[in-house]
Amino acid sequence: MMHAYTLKAPAKINLLLEIIGDRPDGFHELVMVMQSVNLADIVELQPLSGDRIELFCNHPQVPCDQSNLAHRAARLMQEQFPGKGGVAITIDKKIPIGAGLAGGSADAAAVLVGLDLMWGLGLTQAELHTYAAKLGSDIPFCVSGGTALALGRGEELTPLPDLDQLYAVLAKYRSLSVATPWAYKTYRQQFSESYARDPEALEKRRREGHSVELLAAISHRDSQKVPQYLYNDLEKVVLPEHPQVQEIRDLFQSFGALGTMMSGSGPTVFGLADSRSKAELMATQLQTALPDPDLEILVTKFCSSGIQLLS
């Protein structure tokens, strides 16, 4: 008798996102450093008869049809493992959507991990990563989480030492979303002349680019240095388009954040602190400086795991 599973699906922030070239598949060659945070959706899976997939989400802007990434993850698993049954997926949405926090990717990762458990498949982490990569570039990272270097489209992962002593204040205007494809397309239009053009040049950019100092700081688990080497190429296209995002970044800086950066394609901006009390103070200062009910401010801690089984 199969039973229900409840999983925690953490959001991610990008400590670094560097665009180094184009790929034949139309995506970009990236160097990213990804970090899981404690802010998480709760995803519940219940077995259903036949091959039905049902999806419920308590957030009105999240589609509950086949376009939901969690639905697509369930369909992929059914295609790979026919006859295992259907599933009802319930998503308790805590991660802001269209935010650069990989909320949809986290939900899809939770479905992959949850169905592996529900169907008793015993998949390895590498097998889960392979299925995850078919669904989206950030999904392999969401499966395993923690701190990781991500190359290629973001699916080639190397785990890095944990940075679980840092706190992040996340700030996003609820009414503002950035479409990830728009951000990358605009970047290509403006900056493609700087792309590495051949395998040697790409390798040189991977070894000698902006990640060098950050990776050194992470290897020493130096929570003061890590925030000094945050980097995100997509800020170059998103910040000029959305001055209110730049403003949040400037405010975090003026409040003495250890570091501040936009996450992924934005528009979420995070400010880092080395204690919960400093993070909470920064959140209060931001709230006071920008008393706009549309601005969502969340205090969260770095976390060292991806999808976690709650029950």
70 interacts with ligand ATP by CB under 6 A: yes
- Nearest distance, CB of residue 286 and ligand ATP, angstroms: 20
Scanning 88-124, the segments in alpha helix (DSSP H) are: 103-118
Would you count residue 227 as binding ligand ATP (CB under 6 A)?
A: no
The answer to the question of residue 36 lying near ligand ATP (CB under 6 A) is no
Q: Could you tell me which of 59, 138, 136 has the C-alpha nearest to residue 101?
A: 138
To the query of whether residue 12 is one of the catalytic residues in this protein, the response is yes
- Residue 111 interacts with ligand ATP (CB under 6 A): yes or no: no
Active site residue 134: no
At its nearest, how many Å lie between ligand ATP and the CB of residue 270? Answer: 13
Q: Is 198 in contact with 24 (CB distance < 8 Å)?
A: no
What residue ranges in 74-191 does DSSP mark as E strands? Answer: 86-92, 147-152, 156-159, 167-173
Does residue 100 touch ligand ATP according to CB under 6 A? yes
**Least Å distance between CB 128 and ligand ATP?**
18
Q: To the nearest whole angstrom, how small is the minimum distance from the Cβ of residue 203 to ligand ATP? A: 26
Candidate list 8, 12, 93, 278, residue with the active-site label: 12
- Spatial distance between the Cα atoms of 195 and 140, rounded to a whole number of angstroms: 25
19 binding ligand ATP? (CB under 6 A): no
Residue with tokens 């909470």: 280
Look at residues 15, 16, 21 and name the one whose alpha carbon lies nearest to residue 197.
21
Amino acid of residue 192: S
Cβ-Cβ contacts under 8 Å for 249 (sequence gap 6 or more): 239, 260, 261, 262, 269
Residue 186 phi, psi (nearest 5): -65, -40
User: If binding is defined by CB under 6 A, does position 107 make contact with ligand ATP?
Assistant: yes
- Pick from 16, 20, 44, 68: which binds ligand ATP (CB under 6 A)? 68
Q: Which of residues 143-202 bind ligand ATP (CB under 6 A)?
A: 180
Q: Check residue 238 for interaction with ligand ATP (CB under 6 A).
A: no
Q: Which residues sit at the interface with ligand ATP, rule CB under 6 A? A: 62-63, 67-70, 91, 97-105, 107, 138, 180, 264-265
Q: Would you please indicate which residues are annotated as catalytic (active-site) residues? A: 12, 138
